[in-house]
A and B are shown apart, each in its own frame.
Chain A
Amino acid sequence: MIEAVSQIPLSWFLIVAAALFSIGLYGVLARRNAVAMLMSVELMLNAVNINLIAFWRYIDPLQPTGVAWAIFVLTVAAAEAAVGLALIISIYRQRDSVIAEELDVLKY
């Protein structure tokens, strides 16, 4: 099992992660819906997690560093999603919209 995995080159993982990150980034920049943007951020975080796990597995598998970082990131992502959704709900109740372009009051 370990052997099978190890036959897959590291770059493949990195390419997947980069693709995933780019999709997430595109989503954050291009989607108008704040909920969709939040989901795209989750994609980007997961791309980072793939990178962390891949580097750990290929470079220093004997120390649980990458895994630990990945768990941290997951935890933060969960907290972020909770807070982000709460904010979006609160905004929606007030302004009846979740379109990011319309939420520009902090400018003033």
Chain B
Amino acid sequence: MSETTLTALTWLIPAGPLLAFFLILLFLKRNHTASFITAWTGIGVALVFSWIVAGHMLGIYWQDYQNKTDVLEAHPAVIESSIAWLPIGDYYADAPHMLAGEAEAVGHVSTAVPQYNGQWLSMGVVVDPLNTLMLIMVPFTVLMIFIYSVGYHNYGQPLGTKLGTPNHGKEEPLFGRFFAMMSLFAAGMLILVVADNLLLFFIGWEIMGFCSYSLIGFWYARTYDDPNKIPPRYASIKAFMTTRVADVVMLLGIVYYYRVFGTLNFSQTMNGEALLRAAESPAVGLVGLAIITLLLFTGTDGKSAQWPLHVWLPDAMEGPTPVSAVIHAAAMVSAGIFLLLRIFPLIAVSIHSNPTVGIIIGGIGAFTALMAATMALTQSDVKGVLAFSTISQLGFMVAALGVGGFIAATFHLLTHAFFKALLFMGSGSIIHGMEHGAEHVHDHHTDPQNMFNMGGLRQKMPITFITFVIGGFALAGFPFITAGFWSKDEIFVEAFAAGTEGNFMGWVVFITLVLAAFMTAFYTMRQIALTFLGEPRTPLAEHAHESNGFITLPLILLSIPAIAAGFVGIPSNFLGTEYKSVFVNHFHDFAGAIYYEPLAVLLEAGLVSKGITTPDWSWVPISASLIVALGGLFLGWLVYGRQPLKAGEPDPLLRTLGEPLYNFLLNRWYWDSLYDRVLIRPTVFVSEVVVPQIMDKGIIDGLLHLTVRITFAIGGAMAAFERAVFGDGIDWLKDRFLDLAREFRTFQSGKIQEYALLSTVLAWIFAAFILIINFVL
């Protein structure tokens, strides 16, 4: 296939869902069938285009591999295309290197009018090994979720009547809107994936931010009796506001990035040459690069729900389950990690030159992974466990990047997307079945999402059970046959290798993540056991039944990559075999090619600690991985599976951990309460008390009142002045004139001879005056 065709296809990848969004929103949303068919078509076209392009990339790799070229060193095949989009500053056509003002300052006389020909922000697409992987994963997962959504919203059932709340067992009345927003969400993610520069990336990022807001709050009218439960509309605001905090900081990072590199294009900045230049430039230096890294990392911290901005994600579970799947598995949270992968050479330089950066990124990742895993231990909401598990797994990836494990993080991002989407949709299927049971027994008070109300769903929902177990085992890292094992193992290997190379953070990350992985296996087994094993604990579970085909088909299809996706990333020296003699880590070679050359250049300059390499084989990480995965699962089975809980029986962990600790974990370490006390309440206090009472009433109203008073005083003084001068004064003057006139009236007798006499006398006086002047003076 020609280069032009591939470029065109790449451009068109986000177009399908975007077009579907507009079509549904403008024309089709009343027709539910047309809505979902359009959405399917949009994402389907995107899937076809993505896979054609990705297939081309994989084909090139495969050819190189067959030809025994060293695929890592071979420069990665890249499809790139961009157009000038946004001009910045004005330039003279004949002095394009200078800004108009500078040109005049140095005496440049130009006949040309200033033209926008110097700097442009470009809009472009790129396909390189890194986003090829995303192009394989994202459209597929999203399509599965789209298919699932049709069943989830009870397509074909009688139409529900309640707008903005769940209509159990009835077709969602806002069906069209749901698919429109989901399509826009997919478009945002695909724009982000194919973007060749940070600005377009950020646009996709923010489109997703908005869509997540509107989708989490999809059931905007839903309310709860329990005042501690956050309803969807508040959850959506919380998610939006929390990520906004991070995005503002990230935008600062983008501005600094542009200032340093002069372009936002990834391939022009994330190469050895550009980074060397920036690192050696006195204006930027390694500190500048570290600052950019941390600013951009803050964006990830919000989007990928890392501590301390993780609080939005658990509440975002208020959205419909397909939304949770798309936000927390396939798209949005992956975007945060994807950003870090995009700027990985920058991160590598920063963590090598500034250990603080490594401590921050690795530390936050590891801490989040462990913290969220402990929180997941005690959750009773079936989706809640998965929410914390997502935070935890994202922490794994961030921690891996914090110790330089690029391949490991990429790999885990991909496998996690598959099995976490599967798990979310499985949990949605469970809830769906439970709600069906609730309809059947007319019980609307028992929480259908609470795992302690479930049990025994294995017989009722066999397909959901099997696929959920596959996803759960992948999450737990069940050895050898699941994808999660291979990717998590790779993270352990990277962290362990970093530790043995003398990086202190390597040990911290390794030990923390091993602990977190143990808990992961434990809570996964707890979830499976509580949900599926034993006897039904409520009538809801008793009358639950398997979901429809729209729901089960995606589950089956997604369980394939949840197992198989791991086999492409078996370490080339697995079990100590000779490099590439038995196992070939195709994933490593394919994904690693993108930064092989940049990292090699930087390594030579001493700016990074290692290039794209396969860590030496060691039995320690694999043993740890095996022990924690199997041990966690086994312990979970001992506690919850061997003797399944009876109805009304408390959580065995409650006794083991003790009530304070259990509640501490159940209440998410009280982070929300802390933020409530430290941030929200002061803000509310300021806005409800300080601003209205002191600022509005005190200062602003006070100023106004003062002005009024001063104006009144001036007005009163002027009134008094006018009364005195123009009123009484003028009256007095008038009276004097009248008096005078009264005096003079007697002169005017009307007798001509008196006038003549007067004239004569005056003439005499006048004459005498002249005489005196002339002769006396």
CB proximity to B under 8 Å, residues A65-83: none
CB < 8 Å: which of B748, B753, B757, B760 contacts A101? Answer: B753
For A104, what are the chain B residues with a Cβ–Cβ distance below 8 Å? 749-751
Check A100 against B751 for contact (C-beta < 8 Å).
yes
A interface secondary structure, majority = helix
Q: Total A-B residue pairs with C-beta atoms closer than 8 Å?
A: 26
For B760, what are the chain A residues with a Cβ–Cβ distance below 8 Å? 25, 29
Complex: A105 Cα to B750 Cα, angstroms = 7
CB proximity to B under 8 Å, residues A55-108: 100-101, 103-108
B752, CB-defined interface residue at 8 Å = yes
B756, CB-defined interface residue at 8 Å = yes
B interface secondary structure, majority = helix
For B757, what are the chain A residues with a Cβ–Cβ distance below 8 Å? 29
For A29, what are the chain B residues with a Cβ–Cβ distance below 8 Å? 753, 756-757, 760
What string of 1s and 0s marks CB contacts (under 8 Å) between A14-37 and chain B?
000000000001001110000001
Complex: A19 Cα to B336 Cα, angstroms = 128
Given the known interface contacts A25-B760, A29-B757, A29-B760, the answer about A100 and B752 at a Cβ–Cβ threshold of 8 Å is yes
Check A101 against B751 for contact (C-beta < 8 Å).
yes
Closest to B745 in A: A107
Given the known interface contacts A25-B760, A29-B757, the answer about A103 and B748 at a Cβ–Cβ threshold of 8 Å is no
Complex: A106 Cα to B480 Cα, angstroms = 135
Which of the four size classes fits the interface of chain B? Answer: under 10
Chain A min CB distance to B460 (Å) = 125
Q: How many residues of A contact B (CB 8 A)?
A: 13
Check A28 against B753 for contact (C-beta < 8 Å).
yes
Check B753 against A100 for contact (C-beta < 8 Å).
yes
What string of 1s and 0s marks CB contacts (under 8 Å) between B538-564 and chain A?
000000000000000000000000000
Check B750 against A28 for contact (C-beta < 8 Å).
no
For A100, what are the chain B residues with a Cβ–Cβ distance below 8 Å? 751-753
For A108, what are the chain B residues with a Cβ–Cβ distance below 8 Å? 750
For B752, what are the chain A residues with a Cβ–Cβ distance below 8 Å? 37, 100, 103
Check B751 against A28 for contact (C-beta < 8 Å).
no
Chain B min CB distance to A39 (Å) = 14
Complex: A25 Cα to B756 Cα, angstroms = 9
What string of 1s and 0s marks CB contacts (under 8 Å) between B736-777 and chain A?
000000000000111111001100100000000000000000
Closest to A104 in B: B750
Check B756 against A28 for contact (C-beta < 8 Å).
yes
For B756, what are the chain A residues with a Cβ–Cβ distance below 8 Å? 28-29
Given the known interface contacts A25-B760, A29-B760, the answer about A106 and B753 at a Cβ–Cβ threshold of 8 Å is no
For A30, what are the chain B residues with a Cβ–Cβ distance below 8 Å? 753
Most buried by B among A30, A103, A104: A104
Check B753 against A107 for contact (C-beta < 8 Å).
no
For A101, what are the chain B residues with a Cβ–Cβ distance below 8 Å? 751, 753
Complex: A103 Cα to B757 Cα, angstroms = 16
Closest to B748 in A: A107
For A25, what are the chain B residues with a Cβ–Cβ distance below 8 Å? 760
Closest to A101 in B: B751
Closest to A106 in B: B750
Chain A min CB distance to B663 (Å) = 113
Complex: A106 Cα to B750 Cα, angstroms = 6
Closest to A103 in B: B752
Complex: A31 Cα to B756 Cα, angstroms = 12
What string of 1s and 0s marks CB contacts (under 8 Å) between B19-44 and chain A?
00000000000000000000000000
Chain B min CB distance to A35 (Å) = 13
A residues adjacent to B (C-beta < 8 A):
25, 28-30, 37, 100-101, 103-108
Given contacts A29-B760, A100-B753, A105-B750, 13 further A-B contacts (CB under 8 A): A28-B756, A29-B756, A29-B757, A30-B753, A37-B753, A100-B752, A101-B751, A103-B750, A104-B750, A104-B751, A106-B750, A107-B750, A108-B750
A-B contact pairs, 6 of them (CB 8 A): A28-B756, A100-B752, A103-B750, A103-B752, A105-B750, A108-B750
Closest 10 CB pairs of A and B: A104-B750, A107-B750, A100-B752, A29-B757, A101-B751, A29-B753, A104-B751, A100-B753, A28-B756, A29-B756
B residues adjacent to A (C-beta < 8 A):
748-753, 756-757, 760
